Structure 1
Amino acid sequence: MESMTGFGSSIFQGENFQIHCQAKSINHRYLEVTLRIPRRYSSLEERIRKRVLELFERGKIEIQIKIYGFPKEVKDIAFDLELARKIKFNLETLKATLNLGGEITLAEILSFREIVLLEEKEEDLESLWIELEPSLEEALAELKNSRLREGALLRGYIEKFLEELSGVAKKIEALKEKVREENLKKMKERIERNLSELSSQLDEGRFYQEVALFLDRLDFTEELDRFKVHLQEMQNLLDEKASGKRLDFLCQELYREINTLSNKAQSAEISQLAVIAKDLIEKIREQVQNVV
């Protein structure tokens, strides 16, 4: 079992620079990846996302990469020759107009910074990946391990609550016959109180049919059986990958079954057990919200 919450970081030392990589994740319905990376590595964005998708299935994951120091020079120097010619021509014209002596020097022309052009070299993607990959992989591996450790803790909590829910189901099972007899007794008493008033108009066949339907409505055997099946299914899902959404769905089903069961039973004892069961289901759901 894997949690959606975790953190990982790493530092890679290059020849003249360091790369710091942090990877953290929190709960999210789907997998969402956010990248905060230097412009130097922007061309690798899709490759980074693909790697995250290979390792993770759910969660809001943020990758932050920082670079310290100076990687190898990636700029070319060029000159705007046309602009330089115009500057030289205009300077010579100005000198002639002002009757100034001397030649136009290169230093004078270079003082006009507009003629110097710095161009970024387009680096090879594989070279950039070799530079970035060690730090990224280490941070992602640490994030994965962190999520698995947290997942093991979540599993322990969920198994404990499932065991307690199973105990509640057994107590309800033990009360089933007693509750049935109590409801039958209550019904018999109500019938006896009103039988004298109804006797003149009573259709005996219809009367016993209604009694049978009433008792059937009080029978919560099916709900209890489904409740136990859901518990076993949840236990089985703990061994499967990416089971968070299905576990959350089963929590809803457990709540629905125990609620219907409690309403049918019309028993104070079972109502109290249902309250305990609902509390346990809610505790499981809190943990399940963080499961991948």
Structure 2
Amino acid sequence: MESMTGFGKGVFQSDNYTITVYAKSLNSKYLDISLKLPKRYTFLEERIRKFVSQEFKRGKIEIQVKCVGTDLSQKEVLIDIELARNLKTSLTRLKSELGFEDPLTFSDFLKFREYLLLEEKEEELDKLWEEIYPPLNEALKALKASRLKEGENLKNVLKIYLEKLKDETLQIEKLKEKAIKDSKEKLKGRIDKLFKEFNLREIDENRFYQELVYLLDKIDFTEELDRLKVHIFHFENTMEEEDCGKKLDFICQEMFREINTLSNKAQSSEISIIAVKIKELIEKLREQIQNIA
């Protein structure tokens, strides 16, 4: 089991520069990768995203890269000579036609910066990747270890809640026969009272028994209890799977649906109290599951 929260750090140091990568992970329904890269490594954005997505399936992953050194900020001044020459010709003609007396200076050219370009020295992508891969890989491994460690803690918490859930479900199992018997007796008493009160003599027996079967089915919560136990068993097994967060959340929804229907059918104050406890436990399970990848 893997948590979606964690932190990792990786450092690569050469004689002239140091690259530090920070990797942080938070909760998210999906995989959401955000990058903060120095300009030098912006061309590697897609490659970094792909690399991260191979290691993680869920969570908001924030990757920050910091560089300190002398060899990482080399720039070249690139001059578009042809554009500058055309600009000079146009400015000279404009000066002549408008009668300007001041001579052209370099500051006049700087007003038209389109022809003057400052660019980082172009590097091969593979070389850039060789620089950033070691600290990135180290940071992601540390992040994975952090998430797995936190995941084990979460699993232990889930197991505690699950054992309590089993105990409460067992209490309902013990009360089931008595609760169903009591409900049937109440139903029988209501039917007898109706017959006496309204002096019913002629009834449609087929319709009567159809309605009786329907009412008896409404007070029998055996199926709901059995399905609840199946979901608990399924939950326990699913905790051992990878990337189980979404599946566990779905199982919790199903458990909540079953205990809600069961409580309505049971018409028992004792079972209603236990059902409230079970709902609270399911909610606690869901709170923890929001952190699971």
Normalization by structure 1: what TM-score? Answer: 0.84
Structure 2 residue aligned with 1:180: 180
Q: How does 1:5-24 map to 2 (within 5 A)?
A: 5-24=5-24
Work out the CA distance in 2 between the residues paired with 1:286 and 1:164: 16
Shift of residue 47, structure 1, vs aligned partner: 1.1
Structure 2 residue aligned with 1:285: 286
Is the counterpart of residue 152 in structure 1 residue 152 in structure 2? yes
3-state SS in 1 of match to 2:211: helix
Q: How does 1:85-234 map to 2 (within 5 A)?
A: 119-203=119-203, 205-206=205-206, 207-234=208-235
Given that residues 74 and 123 in structure 1 are in contact (C-alpha distance below 8 angstroms), is that contact kept between their aligned partners in structure 2? no
CA 277–36 in structure 1, closer or farther in 2 if over 3 Å, else same: same
CA 12–285 in structure 1, closer or farther in 2 if over 3 Å, else same: same
3-state SS in 1 of match to 2:9: strand
Given that residues 11 and 19 in structure 2 are in contact (C-alpha distance below 8 angstroms), is that contact kept between their aligned partners in structure 1? yes
Shift of residue 188, structure 1, vs aligned partner: 2.5
One-letter amino acid of the structure 2 residue matched with residue 190 of structure 1: R
3-state SS in 1 of match to 2:242: coil
Normalization by structure 2: what TM-score? Answer: 0.84
Given that residues 17 and 70 in structure 2 are in contact (C-alpha distance below 8 angstroms), is that contact kept between their aligned partners in structure 1? yes
Work out the CA distance in 2 between the residues paired with 1:80 and 1:259: 75
Shift of residue 72, structure 1, vs aligned partner: 5.4
- 1:1-46, Cα deviation, whole Å (9 max, x unpaired): 1111111112221221111211111111111110001001111111
Structure 2 residue aligned with 1:47: 47
Is the counterpart of residue 269 in structure 1 residue 254 in structure 2? no
Given that residues 17 and 72 in structure 2 are in contact (C-alpha distance below 8 angstroms), is that contact kept between their aligned partners in structure 1? no
Work out the CA distance in 1 between the residues paired with 2:132 and 2:277: 52
CA 123–288 in structure 1, closer or farther in 2 if over 3 Å, else same: same
Structure 2 residue aligned with 1:106: none
Structure 2 residue aligned with 1:246: 247
Given that residues 20 and 135 in structure 2 are in contact (C-alpha distance below 8 angstroms), is that contact kept between their aligned partners in structure 1? yes
Work out the CA distance in 2 between the residues paired with 1:178 and 1:254: 23
Shift of residue 197, structure 1, vs aligned partner: 2.6
Please say which structure displays the higher CA radius of gyration.
1
Shift of residue 254, structure 1, vs aligned partner: 0.5
Which is further off, 269-278 or 14-23?
14-23
- 1:196-221, Cα deviation, whole Å (9 max, x unpaired): 23444342734444333311210001
Provide the alpha-carbon RMSD of the alignment.
Answer: 2.7
CA 63–200 in structure 1, closer or farther in 2 if over 3 Å, else same: closer
Aligned length: 271
CA 195–21 in structure 1, closer or farther in 2 if over 3 Å, else same: same
CA 165–202 in structure 1, closer or farther in 2 if over 3 Å, else same: farther
Work out the CA distance in 2 between the residues paired with 1:200 and 1:239: 61
- 1:268-292, Cα deviation, whole Å (9 max, x unpaired): 0110010000000000000111111
- 1:89-140, Cα deviation, whole Å (9 max, x unpaired): x9xxxxxxxxxxxxxxxxxx99999699755321111211111111111111
Which is further off, 118-127 or 23-32?
118-127
CA 79–52 in structure 1, closer or farther in 2 if over 3 Å, else same: closer
3-state SS in 2 of match to 1:190: helix
Shift of residue 76, structure 1, vs aligned partner: 3.6
Work out the CA distance in 1 between the residues paired with 2:213 and 2:78: 97
Structure 1, unaligned runs of 5 or more: 91-108
One-letter amino acid of the structure 2 residue matched with residue 247 of structure 1: L
One-letter amino acid of the structure 2 residue matched with residue 243 of structure 1: C
